[in-house]
């Protein structure tokens, strides 16, 4: 039973396209996140979403937008893809957004923009 799942696992697309990555968690958590693993291998927070409250990392371009149809899903939409968007994107969830809450990660989606 996968706790946090992402689809697709790999995504190869052309520059300028619009694409989405889906994330689902079956843990009953209230908070979900998107991270980007950059070229230096750091995991950097992009968004957190808790009870319809979206917290955005100010460095994330507005071409990126999270969409949450319900508490168990947080999808990532990317418009007008650029070469620099190539990275591995990880979804995560936690019970709440509290200090000690452990985050559970999905397997990652490797996005390649050509």
Partner 1 sequence: ILNVEQSPQSLHVQEGDSTNFTCSFPSSNFYALHWYRWETAKSPEALFVMTLNGDEKKKGRISATLNTKEGYSYLYIKGSQPEDSATYLCAFKYSGAGSYQLTFGKGTKLSVIP
**Farthest-apart Cα atoms in the chain, separation:** 40
- Would you count residue 61 as binding partner 1 (CB under 8 A)? no
User: Of these, 44, 71, 73, 110, which contacts partner 1 (CB under 8 A)?
Assistant: 44
- Cα dihedral angle (13, 14, 20, 26), rounded to 10 degrees? 20
Task: Give the C-alpha separation, 76 to 89, whole Å.
Answer: 9
Q: Which residues contact 57 (CB under 8 A, 6 or more apart)?
A: 44, 45, 46, 47
- Would you count residue 75 as binding partner 1 (CB under 8 A)? no
| DSSP 3-state of 69 | coil
Give how many residues touch partner 1 by CB under 8 A.
25
User: Of these, 25, 48, 75, 109, which contacts partner 1 (CB under 8 A)?
Assistant: 48
Q: How far is the CB of 13 from partner 1 (least distance, A)?
A: 22
Stretch that binds partner 1, among 21-29, 46-54, 68-76, 81-89 (CB under 8 A): 46-54
- Would you count residue 55 as binding partner 1 (CB under 8 A)? yes
Task: With CA atoms as reference, report the closest residue to 101 among 29, 53, 37.
Answer: 29
By the criterion CB under 8 A, which residues form the site for partner 1? 4, 40-45, 48, 50, 53, 55-56, 58, 90, 97-100, 102-108
């Amino acid at each position: 039973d996968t706790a946090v799942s992402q689809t697709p696992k790999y995504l190869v697309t052309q520059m300028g396209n619009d694409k989405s990555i889906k994330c689902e968690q079956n843990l009953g958590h209230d908070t979900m996140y998107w991270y980007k693993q950059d070229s230096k291998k750091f995991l950097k927070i992009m968004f957190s979403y808790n009870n319809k409250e979206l917290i955005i990392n100010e460095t994330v371009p507005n071409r990126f937008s999270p969409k949450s149809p319900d508490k168990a899903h947080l999808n990532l939409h990317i418009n007008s893809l650029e070469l620099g968007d190539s990275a591995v994107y990880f979804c995560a969830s936690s019970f709440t957004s509290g200090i000690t809450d452990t985050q559970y990660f999905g397997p990652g989606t490797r996005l390649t923009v050509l």
